[in-house]
Amino acid sequence: MPLWPVYTGTKEPHDGVRELPAPPPWRAFDGGPELSTPADTADAAATCPDRTHRAETYQATPQTVQLVNAALYLRRPLLVTGPPGTGKSSLVYAVARELKLGPVLRWNITSRSTLHDGLYQYDPLSRLYAARQAAALRPGVPAAESGIEDHLRLGPLGTALLPYARPRALLIDEIDKSDLDLPNDLLNVLEEGQYEIPELVRASRHARTAEVMVDGTHERVPVEHGRVRCRAFPFVVLTSNGEREFPPAFLRRCVTLRLRQPDDHHLAEIVRAHLGEPDAYAEKLITRFLTRVGGGDLATDQLLNAIYLARSSDLAQESLDELAEQLMPYLGEAPQADAF
């Protein structure tokens, strides 16, 4: 029997991803040669302690658990929408940690981001410079049509689509900041689970296999004939603040998770995970935060900042109230005058 749920939200690492049933026939991939998923090492955790903390403290709701598992079973991207501070980007770190999917690959989207940026970067100028250096050292010797892989690195999306034995975790953060064309440009790559690197396709007449660098490390992986095809479709999380609409063709290829501001119980769990058991003043701040939510956008980390400073300082009650007010202004609009 298949294991449901594979992702449980309990934060206990396990190998349940191996129990996933075969994908739907229209989402089966057969890329190769098969690669081992890199381990999330202690060195990587030391490099990004913030991401480790977010993975360990993330509080998943039942709806989140259900839809993460739907995305895993269907081999579909998960589009996570919601107000700022609701844990959209933290989710992928929690899933990667529990399911042992290795270091999270992250693609931060800007208005200038293109599909090419996510797949790979190639620097022809550095290659030309290297060729000139080689010609100067060996005059009269024809330059070989090779060495392209030394000036090419796969991006986060390109790395995620390598034929790993188990899914890689990929965060495409703030997709709504992108150019209008990017969601449509992603359609074919995410649907087919593959892409080509034209520079390597042209060079494959000289070398069938190229060893290319991947995102986030100096390691190299083999790419045959300049074509990359996944084996286990990656766990892809796309985050959006809901600032724009996406094309229907894009939406139907995603599993959509809509996050809302947490209620008092969920907020208390979040505070407990980050800062320990809420005291009386923390409970007061939680109540105050919830009463203010209806008037504008607030982020959970604003509340955490206020509670942390209240515990770390020896300010008087009146000063604490004033500080908390300043730490929790509405986002995107002028703060309103409402005293504690």
Question: Other CB atoms closer than 10 Å to residue 91's CB: what's the count?
Answer: 27
Is residue 303 within 8 Å of residue 283, measured between CB atoms?
no
pLDDT in tens, 78-118: 999 998 888 999 999 999 999 999 999 999 999 999 999 99
Task: Inform me whether the pLDDT recorded for 287 exceeds 70.
Answer: yes
Confirm whether 1 is domain-assigned. no
pLDDT in tens, 154-203: 999 999 999 999 999 999 999 999 998 999 999 999 999 999 999 898 87
Which tokens in the block code for residue 306? 């206020």
Would you give the end-to-end CA distance of the chain in angstroms?
Answer: 55
The pLDDT confidence band at residue 2, using thresholds 50, 70 and 90, is low
Residues 45, 178, single domain; the answer is yes
What is the C-alpha to C-alpha distance for residues 127 and 245, in angstroms, rounded to an integer? Answer: 41
Task: Give the H/E segment covering residue 224.
Answer: strand 220-224
Task: Inform me whether the pLDDT recorded for 29 exceeds 80.
Answer: yes
Q: Taking all residues of the chain, what is their mean pLDDT, rounded to a whole number?
A: 88
The pLDDT confidence band at residue 48, using thresholds 50, 70 and 90, is low
Strand order in the sheet with 235-240: 105-108, 169-173, 235-240, 78-81, 255-258
The total domain count for the chain is: 2
pLDDT in tens, 304-324: 999 999 999 888 888 999 999
pLDDT in tens, 201-232: 887 666 788 899 999 888 999 999 999 999 99
Residue identified by tokens 């955790």 is 45
Percent of the chain with pLDDT over 70: 86
Residues 229, 268, single domain; the answer is no
CA angle 254/258/261 to nearest 5° reads: 160
Confirm whether 225 is domain-assigned. yes
Host domain of residue 188: 16-258
Q: Collapse the DSSP code of 26 into the 3-class scheme (helix H, G, I; strand E, B; otherwise coil) and give the result.
A: helix
Residues 82, 153, single domain; the answer is yes
Residues 234, 281, single domain; the answer is no
Residues 247, 162, single domain; the answer is yes
Confirm whether 11 is domain-assigned. no
- pLDDT score, position 335: 47
- pLDDT score, position 309: 94
Residues 130, 271, single domain; the answer is no
Task: Inform me whether the pLDDT recorded for 153 exceeds 50.
Answer: yes
Task: Inform me whether the pLDDT recorded for 72 exceeds 60.
Answer: yes
Residues 203, 279, single domain; the answer is no
- pLDDT score, position 71: 98
Query: What is the pTM assigned to this prediction?
Result: 0.87
The DSSP result for 160-219, as a single string, is HTS-BSSPPEEEEE-GGGS-TTHHHHHHHHHHHTEEE-HHHHHHTTT-SEEEEE-TTSS-
Give the domain CATH number at 194.
3.40.50.300
Task: Inform me whether the pLDDT recorded for 334 exceeds 70.
Answer: no
Residues 313, 239, single domain; the answer is no
